[in-house]
Amino acid sequence: MNVITRGVRNAFRNNIRTGSIVVILGLSIALALSMLLAHQAVGKKIDNVKGTVGNTISISPAGFRGFNGGGGNPLTQTQIDSVSKINHVSSVSESLSDRLTSSNTNLVSSIDAGALGRRFASNGSGSGTVSIGGNAPDLANFTPPVTVVGTNDPTNLDSAGGGTFTLKSGQIFDGASTANVALVGSTLATKNSLVVGSTFTAYGATIKVAGIYGTGNTFGDSQLIMPLATVQTLSSQPGDITSATAKVDSIDNLASTTTAIKNSLGSSADVTNDQTTTQDTISSLQNIKSISLYSVIGAVVAGAVIIFLTMLMIVRERRREIGVLKAIGASNLKVIGQFMTEAVTLTVLAAIIGILIAIVAADPITKTLVNNSTSNSTTTSVTLFGAGAGASVSVSGGPAAGGGNFVARGRGLGRVGSSLTNIHAAVGFSIVIYGLLAALGIAIVGSSIASWTIAKVRPAEVMRSE
Picking from 237, 255, 273, the residue at the C-terminal end of a domain is: 273
236 in the same domain as 98: yes
Q: pLDDT at residue 284 above 80?
A: no
Residue 410 has a pLDDT of 40
Q: pLDDT at residue 383 above 60?
A: no
Picking from 273, 300, 324, the residue at the C-terminal end of a domain is: 273
Q: pLDDT at residue 367 above 80?
A: no
Are 228 and 94 contacting, i.e. CB atoms less than 8 angstroms apart?
yes
Residue 169 has a pLDDT of 93
Q: pLDDT at residue 175 above 60?
A: yes
User: SS3 of 456, please?
Assistant: coil
Least confident residue range of 310-314, 330-334, 339-343, 395-399: 395-399
445 in the same domain as 358: yes
Opening angle at CA 299, ends 8 and 365, nearest 5: 115
175 in the same domain as 252: yes
Return d(Cα 345, Cα 332) in angstroms, integer: 20
182 in the same domain as 90: yes
- H helix runs in 131-215, sequence order: 186-191
316 in the same domain as 302: yes
pLDDT mean over 188-200: 94
Return d(Cα 353, Cα 347) in angstroms, integer: 10
317 in the same domain as 177: no
Task: Answer whether residue 126 is part of any domain.
Answer: no
Picking from 240, 273, 306, the residue at the C-terminal end of a domain is: 273
Domain around 288: 3-51+281-465
374 in the same domain as 447: yes
Q: What is the pLDDT of residues 69-100, one digit of tens each?
A: 455 688 999 999 999 999 999 889 999 999 89
Q: What long-range pairs does 43-49 form, CB within 8 A, spacing at least 24?
A: 43/289, 45/285, 45/419, 45/420, 45/423, 46/282, 46/285, 46/286, 46/289, 48/419, 49/251, 49/278, 49/281, 49/282, 49/285, 49/416, 49/419, 49/420
Return d(Cα 212, Cα 376) in angstroms, integer: 38
Residue 376 identity (one-letter amino acid): N
Residue 288 has a pLDDT of 79
Task: Answer whether residue 122 is part of any domain.
Answer: no
How much of the chain exceeds pLDDT 70, in percent?
70
86 in the same domain as 27: no
233 in the same domain as 101: yes
Residue 213 has a pLDDT of 93
Q: pLDDT at residue 393 above 60?
A: no
Task: Answer whether residue 246 is part of any domain.
Answer: yes
Which one has a higher pLDDT value, 435 or 46? 46
Return d(Cα 33, Cα 427) in angstroms, integer: 9
62 in the same domain as 47: no
Residue 184 has a pLDDT of 94
Q: pLDDT at residue 162 above 70?
A: no
The length of the chain, given as a count of residues: 466
User: SS3 of 398, please?
Assistant: coil
Least confident residue range of 43-47, 111-115, 297-301, 366-370: 111-115
Q: pLDDT at residue 50 above 90?
A: no
* Residue 155: partners with Cβ closer than 8 Å, 6 or more residues away: 165, 172
Task: Answer whether residue 114 is part of any domain.
Answer: no
Task: Answer whether residue 303 is part of any domain.
Answer: yes
Q: What is the largest CA-CA distance in the chain?
A: 120
Please state, as a whole number, how many other Cβ atoms lie within 10 Å of the Cβ of residue 377: 17
7 in the same domain as 74: no
Which one has a higher pLDDT value, 205 or 63? 205
For residues 6, 10, 13 and 16, what is the CA-based torsion angle, rounded to 10 degrees?
Answer: -150
Which one has a higher pLDDT value, 354 or 66? 354
Q: What is the pLDDT of residues 323-346, one digit of tens each?
A: 777 777 777 788 778 878 888 888
Residue 86 has a pLDDT of 93
pLDDT mean over 374-387: 41
The per-residue pLDDT of the chain, averaged, comes to 75
325 in the same domain as 202: no
Task: Answer whether residue 120 is part of any domain.
Answer: no
Return d(Cα 13, Cα 225) in angstroms, integer: 77
Which whole-number Å values give the CA distances from 365 to 291, 307, 420, in the listed order?
A: 12, 25, 14
Domains contained in the chain, number: 2
Q: What is the pLDDT of residues 238-271, one digit of tens each?
A: 989 998 989 888 878 888 999 999 999 998 888 8
* Band of residue 131 on the pLDDT scale cut at 50, 70, 90: very low
Task: Answer whether residue 121 is part of any domain.
Answer: no
Residue 71 has a pLDDT of 57
Task: Answer whether residue 405 is part of any domain.
Answer: yes
Q: 301-317 in b/e burial notation, b at 16+ Cβ within 10 A?
A: ebbbebbbebbbebbee
Radius of gyration in angstroms for the set of CA atoms belonging to the chain, rounded to a whole number: 34
Are 228 and 96 contacting, i.e. CB atoms less than 8 angstroms apart?
yes
pLDDT mean over 147-158: 86
